[in-house]
Structure 1
Amino acid sequence: MPVFIAKEGRGGEVREALANLQSVSRNDPGCLEYTVFANDQRSGTFVLFEGWNSRQDLVDHNDKSHVKDFVQMVTPLLAAPFSVTSLTPLA
């Protein structure tokens, strides 16, 4: 679950980049869920909720050019490096 915090005044650009990534990534093999949320309490903060059929599908997704291009493009727009938390369902 990646969290992205935009630099002041760059939230719109980060939002647009994430929306584009969401659109393309939903078609990647093994994608079960790929939804970007805006944090209602912190302007310019976005959370990506993603689910994959397998760990390998996630690895393959992260190796795709659209993901690598996104990371390269969005990194200068962020106030800090984006963080990623991996989650496992309890049941």
Structure 2
Amino acid sequence: MPQQAYRYVLCRPVPFPEVMSTFDLALIAVQSLHGDERTRLDARFASDAGKRTLAIDAGTPVGQALNQIFTGFARREFGDHAFRVERVDRVPAAAEPAGAPG
């Protein structure tokens, strides 16, 4: 059964490090909702600064919340046309568990 994920493709003027800072804020919000342990177990993502993409798994309630919160934060911070969202079957194989020490 395919998993669901969303890939965010950022436009050039948007600084990628700022996007990842926004992702970190969304992650904190999700940890507040679902707890650190559940977030660490269920939230997965993969970022590629070169391709200017961020893929977030949406196969769990934690992942769905992370996508919703990140989309809202990013839209408000960068604008409606700063990125596009694509549905993909899964997060790339090199995905990191969100909240894991880097």
TM tier relative to shorter chain:
0.5 to 0.7
Structure 1 unmatched ranges of 5 or more? none
Structure 2 unmatched ranges of 5 or more? 91-102
**Contact 1:37–1:46 at 8 Å: present in 2 too?**
yes
Structure 1 residues 41, 83: CA separation in 2 closer, same or farther (over 3 Å shift)? Answer: same
The residue number in structure 1 matching 2:22 is 17
Deviations 1:33-90 (A, max 9, x none): 2133212651x211112442xxxx46x837x8x4574253256275542123466xxx
- RMSD value, Cα: 3.4
TM-score for the superposition, normalised by structure 1: 0.54
**Contact 1:26–1:33 at 8 Å: present in 2 too?**
no
TM-score for the superposition, normalised by structure 2: 0.50
Deviations 1:6-53 (A, max 9, x none): 1113122222111211232134337542133212651x211112442x
**Contact 1:3–1:46 at 8 Å: present in 2 too?**
yes
**Match of 2:12, as an amino acid?**
E
**Contact 1:6–1:77 at 8 Å: present in 2 too?**
no
Tell me the number of residue pairs that the alignment of Structure 1 and Structure 2 aligns.
79
**Match of 1:47, as an amino acid?**
A
The residue number in structure 2 matching 1:45 is 53
